[in-house]
A = this chain, B = another copy of it.
């Protein structure tokens, strides 16, 4: 498998795209990238739907032209193909723990943040759920999302008081999703990490200083 025969379809401001770019950078892998212009609705064109019928980024086109969508699926493909510097765990239990914690971050932090943004933003009226189908915003979800992000921050703090990183003491994909969540919640949902969360701030500084994080 030659890296030059892959194509990552991504968008600069898309937090899901960033999860994949950081993962690649942590592995030291350079993959050709194509930008999908979300602000111009390029993800909904028939050209892009032929790449990824769900109409979302990121998506990874393989040698031969077939495409893998969804962040955890792209990660798994990369980890299986280039196993050095594992980010998804090394033992059966370690692999399960990365999935468990990464999923916890996604379900309790990342998804509520996205839900809050999508059900609030003026520009996403009628487009409250990512994907090919149109749904109206549910304004009552915004407050619930904000409460959920608050609980996520509290629970993450409790976790990082016990553990150097999210899934274990070692850096993993769970840390990538957590950092991307915090940055996006702060920037797009006015929900920054609370100042009092000392363990999370210590972890954030360590993780944010990794060269991959600018990817």
Residue positions of A touching B, CB distance < 8 A:
54, 62, 66, 68-70, 72-74, 76-77, 80-81, 91-93, 95-97, 99-100, 103-104, 108, 128-129, 131-133, 135-136, 138, 140-141, 144, 147-148, 151, 155
Asked if B73 contacts A92 (CB within 8 A), the reply is no
Question: Quick one: given A76-B96, A92-B80, A144-B135, are A104 and B70 in contact (CB under 8 Å)?
Answer: yes
User: Which of B95, B128, B132, B138 is in CB contact (< 8 Å) with A77?
Assistant: B95
| Residues of B with C-beta under 8 A to A70 | 99-100, 103-104
Q: Once bound together, how far apart are the Cα atoms of A76 and B95, in whole Å?
A: 7
Question: Quick one: given A95-B80, A131-B108, A148-B129, are A73 and B103 in contact (CB under 8 Å)?
Answer: yes
Q: Which of A62, A76, A81, A129 gathers most chain B CB within 10 Å?
A: A76
Main secondary structure of the interface of A (DSSP, over half): helix
Q: Once bound together, how far apart are the Cα atoms of A103 and B76, in whole Å?
A: 13
Q: Which of A62, A100, A147 gathers most chain B CB within 10 Å?
A: A100
| Residues of B with C-beta under 8 A to A135 | 144, 147-148
| Residues of B with C-beta under 8 A to A108 | 131
Q: Which of A69, A72, A91, A99 gathers most chain B CB within 10 Å?
A: A99
Q: Once bound together, how far apart are the Cα atoms of A151 and B68, in whole Å?
A: 21
Q: Could you tell me the distance in whole angstroms from the C-beta of A87 to the nearest C-beta in chain B?
A: 14
User: Which of B77, B100, B131 is in CB contact (< 8 Å) with A73?
Assistant: B100
Q: Once bound together, how far apart are the Cα atoms of A14 and B105, in whole Å?
A: 22
Q: Could you tell me the distance in whole angstroms from the C-beta of A15 to the nearest C-beta in chain B?
A: 16
User: Which of B93, B96, B141 is in CB contact (< 8 Å) with A138?
Assistant: B141
| Residues of B with C-beta under 8 A to A72 | 99, 103
28 A–B pairs (Cβ distance < 8 Å), ordered by A: A54-B104, A69-B100, A70-B99, A72-B103, A73-B97, A73-B100, A73-B103, A76-B92, A76-B95, A76-B99, A77-B92, A77-B93, A77-B95, A77-B96, A80-B92, A80-B95, A128-B144, A129-B144, A132-B155, A133-B147, A133-B148, A133-B151, A135-B147, A136-B144, A138-B140, A138-B141, A138-B144, A140-B140
